[in-house]
Structure 1
Amino acid sequence: MSEITKEDSEICKKEIRSNVFEIGGHQWYILFYPQGCEICNHLSVFLCAANHQKLLPDTLHKFYKREHDWGWKNFIELPTLLDGFIDDSGSLIIKAQVQVIRKSVNGPFPCLDSQYRKELLRVYFKVVKQIFLRFMKEKRNKLMEDKTRWTSLCAFWLGMDQKPRRAMSREKMDVIQKLVVKHFFINKNVTSPLVMDFLFKGLNSLVLDTNKEKIILTISKQIVRLLKDDSDASENTLITLEDEPKKEIAFAAKELAVPIVSVDNDMFVLADDAMLLLEKAVLEPFPDERVPPNRMEVDYDEESDDEKLLTEYARHTLEVFVLDHIFCNKIEIAYKEASELKMHEELIR
């Protein structure tokens, strides 16, 4: 909190600095220009890093060595400032809430304090939702826009051996995460930290659902072993070890939304055949257009419906991002190479 008094706000005073305060291991101060900074008839206000000489020369953070302040030149018009914002003692009080956002130890997505997230969400919920929605709509329109080519590509994919298809249906998590940050993080955009935070929550949702499916599979196999050991049924009527887990999983996970992507150690893996998943991504409704899935909840006790919805949007955005990456950088390239080879062979013939 900083206070401007009558003496400070005299016309001759061009610049006023608040006392230095410390947040997040860094020192800060608020800088005021009562006459405006490069602009007339406005109060200009900036939050500044007092120890900016110790900051890195360049970083994704808003504050760095070459640019250690951030604020508004036209914060408020002076006539408006004098009309109700200055108290009876002639003082103007301005509060600045600061949070130092650090990268998560589990990945490249910076995470927010829960209370700060809620405050940003009240202002930027619709903006962040639209960022995710615009991305998914754009990818949907692109994935299957050429019907003739799509038919040819499906025939190519079905004619491929299972081993190369499985190899193409996966990508390293760190590769995808870096690309996601590069795509969605816009430096100096106030909504970017919120977008990154929900992408991290969406990633956690993917990981937890994958772990839940693994637990169901393990339990199912144990049940089948017990049934096989204890059953006196004939070999013809005995349920096999191979088939039973599938039925158990279908029963135990029937409330879960069918995933597009699962997580296997450090890899993103397509949860089904790539062509089927592409059709699913194009045709299925968006998160708030369908009945919310009964997912394993992650710190949802104090979360608002808006937070839960944006987590679903972020999760689906990640799934579509992985699917689009694999389709464009692996499947389409293999298809193009095969088409060029076929054309070359026909020319030789």
Structure 2
Amino acid sequence: MTSAPVGVPIADELVLGALELERTERGVLPHRLPAWARAQCFDGQGEGAQLAQAEVQPAGVRLALRTSATRIELDVLRTRKMIRGVPPRPDGVYDLLVDGELTAQATATGGDVITVDMTTGETHVERGAPGTLAFAGLPAGVKDVELWLPHNEQAELVELRADAPARPVPRDGRRVWLHHGSSISQGSNAASASSTWAALAAISGGVDLVNLGYSGAMMLDPFAARVMRDTPADVMSVEIGINLVNADVMRTRAFTPAVHGFLDTVRDGHPETPLVVVSPLYCPIHEDTPGPGTFDIDALREGRIRFAATGDPDDVKAGRLTLTVVRDALRRIVEQRAAHDRNLFYVDGLDLYGPGDHDELPLADALHPDDAAHHRIGQRFAKHLVTG
């Protein structure tokens, strides 16, 4: 006879991929930035709010337990952001992996909904109740179970239950991969938690992922560099460029020293750790056209989400950034630094997703890879986790 599931305390050791766990009145909220770093970004309208919303979406965060349970339940309070007049994003998908193999998937019900009116800046919050995820019929015997939390919606962990004792999974010296990047790294348009390109590369490469990919918010922030500096890792990478271009926040004069400063800070804490600099993936709207980027109004009228670049290509001569400009600069920077940093490597984003890939697997919203493209990018990047 199978025992009824009983509570499993959500100890820090059970949660992988988060940098901080906030104990709230409703549960445990994983953060992908520590509180001191969150405090250094203005949390109002604009990019501060963007980062605050992105870092609390638990991309790459998972519950990991060793157990003989055949039924596991999780009560979770999700928070979804809706933009008035914009089609809603798909529900977040929770992926259950048993001994590394995807075994079951689920979505949460209930939860809170934040609705933003982009024309007025007003925000409305509708509170909801937690939902329950139930995974039954798991294989008998002791096994390692990982429950990957969704990359695209906030997930507050209320209660974890299992019908057999559970304990943390020994890491057995597994290497840690620390990655920082944009919404593409966070996993936008991937189908589920473990099918973002970063998750796929980590699973393929046999490393523990800490994903610091933040939608719309990879801005070479000094606090992000200090977080990387202070976080233990065996291999590191940074995906640089797309947010700087589509937010139009920087000119070429500032870009090069900002990249050097970011890498210098990371190296203060990781002088010998393999560090991969990834230039932008192919994105036609910004290859030769600066930002800012915006929603394509015609697509919205048709009920579709699509992005467009609004800058003037002639302004590149005045120092505005495009993806082509960024790639050239990053290649030059890495070549310069590699002369005295043997563990610094450059990966051209076009080798991960280039024009030929776009012909076959186009960016449906003109900005983010779809699920099939995430799989391709993850497979291609995995080798860099082995070779450094």
The verdict on a shared fold, with TM-score over 0.5 as the criterion, is no
Give TM class, smaller chain.
under 0.3
Structure with larger Rg: 1
Q: Which has the higher helix share?
A: 1
Q: Which has the higher strand share?
A: 2
Q: Which has the higher contact order (CA 8 A, sep 6+)?
A: 2
- TM-score with structure 1 length normalisation? 0.18
